[in-house]
């Protein structure tokens, strides 16, 4: 647990939250400033600042919990969403504001602006394909 971490405080119950689910490694709760109806967050119970530092077992557990909640978001007897975005922001430059790893599970509703006002945050444009091999080389783990 990290001092002054709002999500550690939520796991510990020192800050109230609306719980969706939990398991041995993860805790899921409703986002207080939702981007769409039913926007939830999945976090590891053990503090890790971000995607680069979270242990593999906790990352896998968060992904699986995210999948389970996404399935409920889409289910007819759940939220009846049309799709889901799983989003992680890693680093302030990538819009991360809380430095305890979290997955956003954001249900999406086609043609229902009252439930979903999200916009694609970039303008898709064709790549200069000649640059792609060198970029791929530099990314390769």
Q: Which residues of the chain form contacts with Zn ion (CB under 5 A)?
A: 2, 5, 7-8, 47, 100
- What is the sign, positive or negative, of the torsion defined by CA atoms of 140, 102, 41, 97? negative
CA distance 89 to 16: 23
Pick the piece of the chain touching ligand 5GP (CB under 6 A) from 69-77, 88-96, 117-125, 131-139: 88-96
Q: Is 6 in the site for ligand 5GP (CB under 6 A)?
A: yes
Regarding 32 and contact with ligand 5GP (CB under 6 A), the answer is yes
Contact status, residue 39 vs residue 29, Cβ threshold 8 Å: no
Nearest distance from residue 135's CB to ligand 5GP, in Å? 25
**Cα gap 30→38, rounded to integer Å:** 7
- Based on CB atoms, which residue is closest to ligand 5GP, 18 or 71? 18
Do the strands 40-44 and 26-30 form a parallel or antiparallel pair, or are they unpaired? antiparallel
Binding residues for ligand 5GP (CB under 6 A): 6, 15, 17, 29-33, 41, 89, 95-98
């Amino acid at each position: 647990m990290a001092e002054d971490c709002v999500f550690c405080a939520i796991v510990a119950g020192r800050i109230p939250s609306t719980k969706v689910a939990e398991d041995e490694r993860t805790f899921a709760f409703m986002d207080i400033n939702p981007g769409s109806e039913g926007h939830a967050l999945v976090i590891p119970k053990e503090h890790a600042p971000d995607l680069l530092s979270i242990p593999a077992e906790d990352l896998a557990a968060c992904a699986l919990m995210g999948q389970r909640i996404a399935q409920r978001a889409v289910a007819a007897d759940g939220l009846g969403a049309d799709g889901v975005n799983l989003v992680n922001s890693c680093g302030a430059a990538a819009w991360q504001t809380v430095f305890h790893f979290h997955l956003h599970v954001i249900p999406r509703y086609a043609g229902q602006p009252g439930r979903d006002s999200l916009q694609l945050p970039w303008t898709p444009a064709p790549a200069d394909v000649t640059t792609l091999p060198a970029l791929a080389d530099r990314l390769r783990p």
